[in-house]
Chain A
């Protein structure tokens, strides 16, 4: 298929960019040992345990630890091959998703407030957790932030968890199948984990009763420097885990669907008006669970259904809605399509078309910013001309191979450049931090001293004296460093938004072939 042709034509440096970025991400999140093993697997593909150890020159023990971490975080999977050999395989694209963690967490905050936010954060930080573990952790964390004497009920956290499961933002992990008639033969070297579609969002019947607990203040001093000695505290590690074996993870695909919907709604709002975008948002919301992530368009929705589903308090008449739908369907962008006349008119959202428009707009914007307006004008004309030639073709799916190929190639190239950019951003940030390591450490020490002095009620003059340990030029240097690191971090997040749009289009297009 010509998809393979594209993959071959792409410079091998694209894979290099991906690998470099994966390496940086793994190293920042899990340290160098995990990075070494992870990158090795990304480069070499599927390998068994001993080969990994041998090829990387790492002890078996270290490899096991690293693999544990990677499997726990859904970055590596395993499979039993013939002759009982278990091989491990890394998911490069999943590693790259680590860039998006802040976005997943913030999105949950906007939808399900702090409780939801922390649930998703804990799931991402730990890879997989049982519901009871999540509830306990989140209740504890929320309690920390509450006023003295107040605590967070497990029940409240559970409710939010259930809502997240119902809307598919969290899902159950594949698990060990229960064998009723166990084969008396030797067990397989590794289980094949399975999950039933219908069980994926099924919340176990738990009666989690309890409240969050505050950490004792002696665990860490005010400046957050951990003490070498950790005081023993009462743990409930002897309690049985009611939902042992049922693990949950964040459902990244569902978040991506949400981001895509957000981008489409935003585009409609920019191009048309608020009301149009609200209608589109309603249609997307109605299609959330019924549309698969790679579908080219949503299920047809009747104008009547849409009217009934408009947000409460949105007062437009049925006729006005119909007018808007007609306008949307007629718009050259073709985000909305009319697929029939029953029920007052059947309408769909053209997801693939929308993604293509978004990706194209991204490309045009990149050309404009990097090469100036004249280049952008030329670029746009070329794209338009092609589009005009294709107007004759009714079915948008019949884009001639050549045009689709070119388009895809451009997207892949731009995607590659974005990945490379992020790798550069991370390296620059690490470099800046390393350059200023001595000064940063000094500043942290001073802060710690001040904090502990404040806690013991020191006088203003004394505090001033300590503060002056950092000279004015040093302060300036720290300010500059902070500003730069913030810029670099923010850039990573925002370049990842570009990557998301381009990859959404690429994925969508690939699946259609």
Chain B
């Protein structure tokens, strides 16, 4: 059986003094919202320094932030698959230089995925091709590291090269834009209009 409440008056089920209120003291108002995120402080902060140097560094900082995002060292997270491929996406691609660590040109040494992964040396291999694949699969070609040139394989080659991957991407785009037809239109050896009843090529009588 529950304890009786005094008629019309609530009694605390715990010792109110333990929480810090003396008996009979007026309790603070009910709080209807969370406390402010940035409450006022007694002492206001010192104003920021101003001057030519400070202004310049501020502008520099903001500029650097933007520049870094466009550099090849900024690795974008692979996008999640989109349900609908938006047309505008093609035109919003940001141009980025590819950075391939290592200044030596690609050697046609074979290293299939299998063999390179089973190599005993745990090394940072030269990444030959940073082709972006839609589903983020690993790059196909991993070359053997060049002995004694690991340092180089880590250094950026900073000439403004259009590398192979980029060329491909670019050419593809160029081709796509040169004709007005969707490439899939004539897939699978369809003969356009061959089986169609609406044969517009022939004159209708």
Contacts and interface: CB of A to CB of B under 8 A. Distances in A.
Physical interaction between A and B: yes
A494 B74 contact: no
A468 to B, nearest CB: 25
Contacts of B95: 226-228, 230
A486 B58 contact: yes
Contact of B57 (A66, A128, A235, A493): A493
A404 interface: no
B20 interface: no
B151 interface: yes
Point out which of B56, B70, B74, B159 has the most chain A C-beta atoms below 10 A from its C-beta.
B159
A65 B75 contact: yes
A84 interface: yes
A417 to B, nearest CB: 13
Nearest to B70: A226
Point out which of B54, B68, B71, B154 has the most chain A C-beta atoms below 10 A from its C-beta.
B154
A187 B149 CA distance: 11
Interface string A57-78: 0011110111111011100001
Contact of A235 (B123, B130, B162, B173): B162
Given A29-B68, A133-B159, A190-B124, A493 B58 contact: yes
Contacts of B117: 60
A170 to B, nearest CB: 16
Contacts of A382: none
Interface residues of B, number: 63
A51 to B, nearest CB: 10
Nearest to A32: B77
Contacts of A228: 90-93, 95, 173
Contacts of A371: 43
B109 interface: no
B94 interface: yes
Contact of A129 (B45, B94, B152, B158): B158
Contact of B54 (A69, A187, A490): A490
A64 B127 contact: yes
A448 to B, nearest CB: 12
Nearest to B56: A106
Contact of B68 (A30, A67, A175, A247): A30
B57 A125 contact: no
B73 A72 contact: yes
Contact of A191 (B60, B70, B150, B173): B150
Interface of B: 42-43, 45-46, 48-49, 53-54, 56-58, 60-62, 64-65, 67-68, 70-71, 73-77, 90-95, 101, 103, 117, 120-125, 127, 130, 136, 138-139, 147-152, 154-156, 158-162, 166, 170, 173-174
25 contacts: A29-B73, A59-B138, A64-B127, A65-B75, A65-B130, A67-B124, A68-B101, A72-B101, A72-B154, A78-B124, A101-B64, A102-B58, A110-B53, A126-B158, A127-B73, A129-B158, A176-B148, A191-B148, A229-B170, A235-B159, A245-B152, A247-B155, A493-B54, A493-B57, A493-B61
Interface of A: 28-34, 48-50, 59-62, 64-69, 71-73, 78, 84-86, 101-103, 105-106, 109-110, 121, 125-130, 133, 137, 175-176, 179, 187, 189-191, 193, 226-230, 232-233, 235-237, 241, 244-245, 247, 369-372, 485-487, 489-494
